[in-house]
Structure 1
Amino acid sequence: MARALEEGEHFSLGSIMEETTLSKDLILEILSWLPVKSLLRFTSVSEWFQRLISDPTFVKLHLQRASKHSNFLIILKRQDDRLVVSPCSMLCLLQSNHDHNFLRVPERFLERYQGLSSCNGLVCVANNFSSGDVDSLKHICSFTIWNPATRTKFQVPRLTFRTIEVDDVSFGFAYDDRSDTYKVMTIISYLHPTCQVQSCNEVKIYTISSNDGWRTMEKFPANTSFVPDYGKYFNGNIIWLTTEESDQSQYTFNDFVVVFFDLRTEIFNKVLLPQNLEGVDANINIPEIMVLDDFVSLVFKDFATNTFVVWQMKNFGNRDSWTLLVNIDVDVLQTEPVPFLKPLCIQDRFLVFYQLTIENQMHVIWYDMREGEVARRRISTEVFSVWVEDYIPSLQSLGA
């Protein structure tokens, strides 16, 4: 039993550790459930704590525990052009106005900002820009892997191309559980030298902790014109929604395909959208792919019926497993005439949305899928643009 403090003696966690009867396994178990902020403070208590908390086995255990909770990274572009992020949980969204908790993305990460993707607490900040004079203009892709919780970063080697050749670039960042490493990939779309239309593409991948540099993979197996700025991470895959062909002016849902890149095998695969949606006009009802409740999900607003629709692929890679989750009357959501509205997550029986209003405010909307009831809360003001990524505060680090 630890002794009582004598008069004039101060509390010391280190001294208590020396006299405690708790086993180290039990201490490890307790610490693995604590938030990152608390653990970082413990690293200055003693050398033993510092070694434990930085040990790769403990880092993985802490990540496994943290991933059981719903956490997000809110990314806002302010009206003064500042880019800020805020890690938050569903609980903090319910409790208070969140404006004071935003962390500014360091300016040194933002040369010509393209997008941001998150995986296991690590955030990949991508930049695309041109550099040089008229005769030697180059297109440069740079990537910084940043942990907002620990403030550590890792710089990926840059990619450089002749500017005249590059039409567009998309990227992906994810964890490969087979090789226990992280990978950054890019899809580079090239212009045809005479007719100025996309005729080919190149896929490159960089494996963190390897000495292989950027490797060239098989070509992207679909139209790169519709590929978003970055792919979504799902269960060892990076996924995109695009079309099969690029020479059409009108598209229906028949023309779209989910492309996924398996990080373990480094092979592309494809799956079509639900058969029930064949013929639906995709020029008006613009489809989007995301991950909701651990399922790849197709979301879109059906303007013909004024409903918000969510389908989920219950068996990943199997077209026949697409299942309609909800078909919500937009008027029930109490949104504005032309809102920016996206699903955030599914929490129990609630489908949670986030919205950017015409007053430049970010709102969160809870829709009760069982009762059909709606609640909303303002999260932030003076917002120029907003998006949200799944995020797990973690101790993950890729080096200096």
Structure 2
Amino acid sequence: MSSTLPLLPQDLITEILAWLPVKILVRFTSVSKHWKSLIFDPNFAKLHHQRSPKHTHVLLTLFDYEEVNKDDFQDNSNVDTSWAVAPFWVRRLLEQPSSTVNEDGCFRTDEGTSYAIGSTNGLVCLMEDISQQKGIQGICIRFWNPSLRLRSKESPTLTVIRAYANLGFGYDDSTDTYKSLDFHKC
């Protein structure tokens, strides 16, 4: 006598998965192509975000992840260093003040300087300096999801006059879109 497992309705599977932590969902993407497409579906992401706890606060920590002895160089601007932005749970910091940053899931940059413009719904918007000439700066924008450990490709190079520009990032609920903004001082 062979026994088969009962099949669960798709909407019940979706509802169960929507309550699970992101780390587990990432592991479940290897279960099947169907589960992977479900987990990365924008509608599922929105449902998961609605179900997730709203009290988790993350501190982004910038640190040099390659130990470079800067005392060996007279002009620090020529030192080729690599930087990482790491998510660090504020609750963990409060409970264990001597905690160390876990590099697992870091966003690393090997060139230029990165700035966190803002974050919303677990998505971080980063600006990277590409070039600068006479107050005009070439930048690119990237998006980073620390929970999924995913980052977007670089945007095309944007030109801003740094002294007159302020960059921002947010989510427009009425159009269901994320927006990076460039505010110019007049």
Whether the TM-score (by the shorter chain) exceeds 0.5 is yes
Does the 8 Å CA contact 1:75/1:83 hold for their aligned counterparts? Answer: no
Query: For the structure 1 residues 172 and 100, does the alpha-carbon distance in structure 2 shift closer, same or farther, using more than 3 Å as the test?
Result: closer
Asked if the contact 1:42/1:49 (under 8 Å) is kept, the reply is yes
Cα deviation, residue 21, structure 1? 4.3
Tell me what 2:124 maps to. 123
Q: For 2:6 and 2:90, locate their aligned partners in 1 and report how far apart those are by CA, in whole Å.
A: 34
Aligned partners of 2:24, 2:154: CA distance in 1, in Å? Answer: 27
Unpaired segments ≥5 residues, structure 2: 68-80
| Paired residues of 1:146 and 1:153 also in contact (CA < 8 A) | yes
For 2:99, the equivalent position in structure 1 comes to 98
Paired residue type of 1:104: C
Residue identity matched to 1:167: A
Structure with the bigger RCO (C-alpha within 8 Å, sep 6+) is 1
Q: Is the Cα contact below 8 Å between 1:145 and 1:156 reproduced in 2?
A: no
Q: Please report how far the alpha carbon of residue 186 of structure 1 lies from its aligned counterpart in structure 2 after TM superposition.
A: 1.2
- 1:141 counterpart residue number: 139
Q: Which protein shows a greater Rg?
A: 1
* Aligned partner of residue 173 in structure 1, secondary structure: strand
- State yes or no: 1:77 paired with 2:62: yes
Q: Which moved more, 1:141-150 or 1:95-104?
A: 95-104
Match of 1:55?
41
More strand by share: 1
CA contact (8 A) 2:107 2:144 kept: no
Q: What does residue range 145-160 of structure 1 map to in structure 2 within 5 Å? A: 145-150=143-148, 151-160=150-159
Residue 168 of structure 1: how far off its partner (Å): 4.2
Q: CA deviation at 1:43?
A: 1.1
Aligned pair count reads: 166
- Rounded Cα–Cα distance in structure 1 between residues aligned with 2:156 and 2:51: 32
**How far is 1:69 from its partner?**
3.0
Structure 1 residues 1-400: aligned runs within 5 Å: 3=3, 19-66=5-52, 68-78=53-63, 82-88=83-89, 90=91, 92-93=92-93, 95-96=95-96, 97-102=98-103, 103-108=105-110, 111-128=112-129, 130-131=131-132, 138-150=136-148, 151-161=150-160, 166-189=162-185, 200=186
Alignment CA distance shift 1:112-1:168 (3 Å): farther
Which of the pair is proportionally richer in helix?
2
Summarize deviations over 1:29-86 as a string: whole Å, max 9, x none.
11101111111111111122122212222111001111x3312222223376844322
| Compared CA separation, residues 89 and 74, structure 1 to 2 (3 A) | closer
| AA at the equivalent of 2:158 | L
Q: Secondary structure at the match of 1:37?
A: helix
The CA RMSD over aligned residues, in Å, is 3.0
CA contact (8 A) 2:141 2:155 kept: yes
Is the Cα contact below 8 Å between 2:125 and 2:144 reproduced in 1?
Answer: yes
Secondary structure (helix, strand or coil) at the match of 1:140 reads: strand
The separation in 2 between residues aligned to 1:51 and 1:105, in whole angstroms, is 24
Compute the displacement of 1:100 (Å): 4.2
What SS class does the counterpart of residue 58 from structure 1 fall into? helix
**Distance (Å, rounded) in 1 between the aligned partners of 2:183 and 2:19:** 38
Find the counterpart in structure 2 of residue 235 from structure 1: none
1: CA distance, partners of 2:62 / 2:33: 40
Gaps of 5+ in 1: 4-17, 190-199, 201-400
